[in-house]
Amino acid sequence: MIKGIKNLWKWKKVIWNDRWYDSYFLFKLLKFKLENMEYKFRKDGMHLNNGKDADKMKICILLLDRIIKDEYHDNIFRYHDKKWGEPELSWDEYDNENSILNITHKNVLTEGDKKQENKEFRILSKRESKMKQNDVNYLFRLFSKYILMWWD
């Protein structure tokens, strides 16, 4: 009973802020659970490989940190934005119900620049998506390989 109350208290902030509609919240739950497990494995682990298991959990925690922070766009587009200028957004009314989003860059001066910037944007967008997916794939590969062995 006391242990259950302590668990409720420890998890209160995570559970209070949990939402059903985004993978972000699932990643937050996983990270919190793994942080607690890693700590306990390092402090109280009683099996032969508890340190190595804690190290594998730490890798998962670091991957979860990257996924949760979601800085892929900023990292990928840093030089693109430096080259072409920060994107500037404006809206044009199309009709009473619709509008058109315009994205411009101060260093896009010619039609050739516009085509080149669009080409680079598409390539970088694919790279951004691939980087995040690679982190998620690596995380779940580690889970798949080790999770059933992470118990004292």
Q: Is the pLDDT of residue 152 over 60?
A: no
> Mean per-residue pLDDT for 115-122?
96
Q: How many residues are given for the chain?
A: 152
| pLDDT bucket at 97, cuts 50 / 70 / 90 | confident
Q: Is the pLDDT of residue 104 over 80?
A: yes
Its pTM stands at 0.85
3-state secondary structure string across 84-144: HCCCEEEEEECCCCCEEEEEECCCCCCHHHHHHHHHHHHHHHHHHHHHHHHHHHHHHHHHH
State which residues form the domain around 67. Answer: 2-149
Q: Is the pLDDT of residue 53 over 70?
A: yes
Count how many domains the chain has: 1
| pLDDT bucket at 1, cuts 50 / 70 / 90 | confident
